[in-house]
Structure 1
Amino acid sequence: MKQSLQLRTSQHLALTPQLQQSIRLLQLSTLELHQELENLLVENPLLERVDDALDNAVRLLADGSLNNVSSSSETEFTPVEASKTEASESSITEVSDNSNDAEQTANTDDWSFDDAPSSSSKNRDDDDGRPQLEAAMTSLRDHLLEQMRVSIRETRDRALIELIIDAIDDNGYLCESLEEIHASLPIDLCVELEELQFALNMLQSFEPEGVGARTTSECLAIQIRRMPKVPFVTRKLALQIVQTYLPLFAQRDFTKLRKFLHCDDEDLREAQTVIRQCNPKPGLAFASAKSDYVVPDVVVKRIGDEWHVMLNRDVMPRLRINQLYANLMKQQRGDVSLSPQLQEARWLIKNMRQRFDTILRVAQAIVERQYNFFTHGAVAMRPLVLREIADTLGLHESTISRVTTQKFMLTPHGMFELKYFFGSHVATETGGEASSTAIRALIKQLIGEEDQKKPLSDSKIADILGEQGMVIARRTVAKYREALKIPPVSLRKSL
């Protein structure tokens, strides 16, 4: 076969840089969006945030003079003021026309994403914006050392107790045995194992109650011994349970407990009440782990008989074109070195606006189809798939998937990810469909209303749902129950 060169003309679709940026911004969460925005602000000098913490700071102008910029006057650039800045925009776009880009002549709505009210409009009597300092958390080690300094005088005893404190984990348990600690000490210190045991006993008398225990049984026993106003018989029975029969107590095998302890239901119930007052992990009260908070992208409120969806203005970045560079471009009409940055800034502002508009449209479509959920709760959730929303809005399913991932909605029933409103369906006897979310809500409701002495089994729950017309298997009930983190019937039984 003879080789040859041929030229062929063909057409194919390609993603423009602007479209690629729009897709990337759409799939980012709120936190990732602000991180991406910070990187873009560093790379593009023409882009600026109006809600910058330094927006009211003294700025240096091009001529070297100082200007105290006021965000309530010159710094604000909103679409409402488009008519006032039309002349300024036209003079700047004359410079960018050299790039031959049709979008350079876009209107001022593409210039900013600054519809939220200015932060400087707050009352001056409010906080002056200085950062609120969080008080330092006291660690478990510091708490124990402080008690040791107050209650122990002997230097040798302090050293041994501090040695044991260093072996306490975050839960408050001694993670090393006394024999291991004793073996690690130098021989010339002449430390006896009895001294370490005495130091441990002193440590176990500190707060929080149960600290320094080596096992869960020992931790609970320490707390039960220190409980005030507990009858002798009840205290003795509770100690016997946690020291000998704790596995049976955890499994709620009350029949065997009554047999081994030779007690009746009333005595066992009183001992159970005492044990439940104990904290199996006393050190967690001093844990320094911080909670993660979710900020909603949209908020749903009821006005009259209708549910209305609004964007959360607190998570919407307020962007604009830097006026200093814009004035330089206006003065140097022949210099087009900043034209690419100007175009990128416009693209970003436009894509940011399009991102939040798409989120709002999808949220509104979800609220319209899940009206019963917002009115009556999760038990009224209807089956919903991505294609239904995509066909309604004229978008692709992949776009709906990007919008509903890591985007959250604040409702009167709580905070939910947008994906929460989509779910599979289960057939009913009447030929209809029930949402899996509604079934999980019904299971949670049935378990919440059950008799604690005779809890409902998975088979019984499936039968009750079948009586309501929902065809569901026992293993499906078990799967939904585990997803709700509800223990099985044997662990829900009480006296």
Structure 2
Amino acid sequence: MKQSLSLRTGLALTMTPALQQAIRLLQLSSLDLQLEIRQALESNVMLEADGDDLEMQTTEEAMAEADSDAAVAEAGSAAETVIELGGENVIPEEMPVDADWGDIYDSAGSAGSGSGEDDDGLHDFMQANLHGSQSLRDHLTWQASIAPFDEVDAEVALHIIDAINDDGYLEDWDGVRDRLVGGQNIPLERVEKILRSVQDFDPSGVAARDLPECLRLQLQQYPAKTPGLSAAFRILEAPMAMLARHDETALIKATGLPLEALREGLALVQTLQPHPGRPYQAHESDYIAPDVFVGKKNGRWRVSLNPEHTPKLRINQLYQGMVKRADTSRDQLTMKQHLQEARYFINSLEARNETLLKVAQCIVEEQRAFLDYGEEAMRPLVLRDVAEQLGIHESTVSRATANKYMLTPRGLYELKYFFSSHVQTTEGGTCSATAIQAMIKRLIAAEDATKPLSDSTLAEMLLKEGIQVARRTVAKYREALRIPPSHERKPIG
């Protein structure tokens, strides 16, 4: 085979480091972006935040200021202020490494300037917002440690506690029992006795193996003379599906209770906690700061980026002036690399903000009816529509809308909320899935409580409004809204 050389021309997309960084910054949330910017400022000497209160000065200016009489006088006055604030407490020349200001000053408010009250208020606020809640397992383990268990019983109790999930239910009881009885040769009666002891722990209903047992354990904590207690026990013996459907007729047949006693027992059952472990689960609030603001000014909707999420960065002029092109020393190479990375980062950040603003403006332009009239006026919109208008790829739109939020006069929404599929109307037009969900929500809110609307009825009512959807589609949208079916929406009484 004869070998030869040839030239070939072609186009190919190369993922340069700058392009990769721009793509990565685009899909970051506001919180992740702030972390990325902070790390870049700390690791790159060429980057600095525009508008910092402390501007970098040249070495000569800093030395001149340190030697000036004004600086000495200012330092002397500051020292006098410290001594005056300290009163009779004089700072010793040598202090231990672990010394605290509290060892020198009795209180921060000794100056009488009122700042002590502000510090106390800040301390109270921080203490009130500390989240040191105890987990369910820790709570149960603590109760087991003070229970009258011997060494073996305490070990069995810990095995049982380890098998309790976050909702407070005992998982895989058969496996736990077999391991304790067969593996550790503990009598079955002893294991079941320890289980009953753990079930007496707080919270009430913990370590239950199913929902009926959980509810029964809670009822056992009530006094014997509690109204409806005996009826509640009878109700829990019936199939739970009847209770879930609020089917009074079936419950009367299953329990043999009269209607009045049945309703009294149902009222008591409804006060029970089906998930006893929920109060011990982490429930810290997640606060979301909007990336985009939308407001109406002079009859037009205006879009702006959140300035807190878009800090202005710049090249440090002092260090940039130290870069010498002809110098190839290690320090110069490092500074040149930092300078190039800083330029890449600033350009990528500007490109991210520009793309996010363009995508948000396009969304607002398409969804003006929603901003004016509400959810039922939401237009169908997909990523391709925005991509074609802006002349960018759909993946870019997807990254720009991921984990980004828009604050509108109607509330705070994720950018992806404004995208939805479409459904054909009877007149040949289209309607968004979000608008249909809003219609379903409106119809259910206005229904007769004694005669809840079924999914078929909802489909017929939507058809009268020009929306042609199947019953299963209505059911899917209703479930997305977390609205129970009609038989579960019917009141007990």
Normalised by the size of structure 2, how large is the TM-score? 0.71
Question: Which residue of structure 2 lines up, in the alignment, with residue 169 of structure 1?
Answer: 165
Question: Which residue of structure 2 lines up, in the alignment, with residue 435 of structure 1?
Answer: 432
- Give the whole-Å Cα distance in 2 for the aligned partners of 1:185 and 1:13: 62
- Aligned with 1:309: secondary structure? strand
Question: Which residue of structure 1 lines up, in the alignment, with residue 278 of structure 2?
Answer: 284
Question: Which residue of structure 2 lines up, in the alignment, with residue 183 of structure 1?
Answer: 181
Flag the structure with more relative contact order, 1 or 2, with Cα contacts below 8 A and sequence separation at least 6. Answer: 1
5+ residue gaps in structure 1?
Answer: 69-122
Please identify, of 132-141 and 443-452, the stretch whose mean Cα deviation from structure 2 is larger: 132-141
Q: Is the 8 A contact 2:238 2:255 kept in 1?
A: no
From 477, 485, 490, the counterpart of 2:474: 477
Question: Which residue of structure 1 lines up, in the alignment, with residue 7 of structure 2?
Answer: 7
Q: CA deviation at 1:12?
A: 6.5
- Give the whole-Å Cα distance in 1 for the aligned partners of 2:310 and 2:229: 58
Q: CA deviation at 1:350?
A: 2.4
The answer on 1:400 being equivalent to 2:397 is yes
From 440, 444, 447, the counterpart of 1:447: 444
- Give the whole-Å Cα distance in 2 for the aligned partners of 1:15 and 1:398: 15
- Give the whole-Å Cα distance in 2 for the aligned partners of 1:14 and 1:139: 50
The 5 Å alignment of 1:360-379 reads 360-379=357-376
From 286, 301, 320, the counterpart of 2:314: 320
The 5 Å alignment of 1:187-202 reads 197-202=192-197
- Give the whole-Å Cα distance in 1 for the aligned partners of 2:457 and 2:64: 75
- Aligned with 1:471: secondary structure? coil
The 5 Å alignment of 1:71-220 reads 134-147=130-143, 152=147, 159=154, 162-163=157-158, 164-175=160-171, 176=173, 179-180=177-178, 183=181, 197-220=192-215
Question: Which residue of structure 2 lines up, in the alignment, with residue 236 of structure 1?
Answer: 230
Give the 3 Å change call, closer, same or farther, for CA 388–156 of structure 1 in structure 2.
closer
- Give the whole-Å Cα distance in 1 for the aligned partners of 2:394 and 2:149: 72
Q: Is the 8 A contact 2:238 2:251 kept in 1?
A: no
Superimposed CA distance per residue, residues 120-177 of structure 1 (whole angstroms, 9 cap, x where no aligned partner): xxx996869x998834221223333545666x56757983784454554332234436
Normalised by the size of structure 1, how large is the TM-score? 0.71
- Give the whole-Å Cα distance in 2 for the aligned partners of 1:350 and 1:387: 26
Q: Is the 8 A contact 1:297 1:407 kept in 2?
A: yes
Q: Is the 8 A contact 1:62 1:324 kept in 2?
A: no
Question: Which residue of structure 2 lines up, in the alignment, with residue 22 of structure 1?
Answer: 22
The amino acid of 1:359's aligned partner reads L
Give the 3 Å change call, closer, same or farther, for CA 302–271 of structure 1 in structure 2.
farther
- Give the whole-Å Cα distance in 1 for the aligned partners of 2:51 and 2:153: 54
Question: Which residue of structure 1 lines up, in the alignment, with residue 380 of structure 2?
Answer: 383
- Give the whole-Å Cα distance in 1 for the aligned partners of 2:289 and 2:457: 40
The amino acid of 2:216's aligned partner reads A
5+ residue gaps in structure 2?
Answer: 66-114
Q: Is the 8 A contact 1:148 1:158 kept in 2?
A: no
The amino acid of 1:138's aligned partner reads Q
Question: Which residue of structure 1 lines up, in the alignment, with residue 339 of structure 2?
Answer: 342
- Give the whole-Å Cα distance in 2 for the aligned partners of 1:209 and 1:11: 70
The amino acid of 1:325's aligned partner reads Y
Superimposed CA distance per residue, residues 443-494 of structure 1 (whole angstroms, 9 cap, x where no aligned partner): 1222333334332222111100011111222232223223334333343333
Question: Which residue of structure 2 lines up, in the alignment, with residue 357 of structure 1?
Answer: 354
- Give the whole-Å Cα distance in 2 for the aligned partners of 1:217 and 1:421: 43
- Aligned with 2:322: secondary structure? helix
Q: Is the 8 A contact 1:383 1:435 kept in 2?
A: yes
Q: CA deviation at 1:305?
A: 5.3
- Give the whole-Å Cα distance in 1 for the aligned partners of 2:64 and 2:211: 66
From 290, 308, 328, the counterpart of 1:296: 290
- Aligned with 2:277: secondary structure? helix
Q: Is the 8 A contact 1:161 1:203 kept in 2?
A: no
- Aligned with 1:445: secondary structure? helix
Give the 3 Å change call, closer, same or farther, for CA 145–425 of structure 1 in structure 2.
closer
Question: Which residue of structure 1 lines up, in the alignment, with residue 421 of structure 2?
Answer: 424
- Give the whole-Å Cα distance in 2 for the aligned partners of 1:41 and 1:438: 45
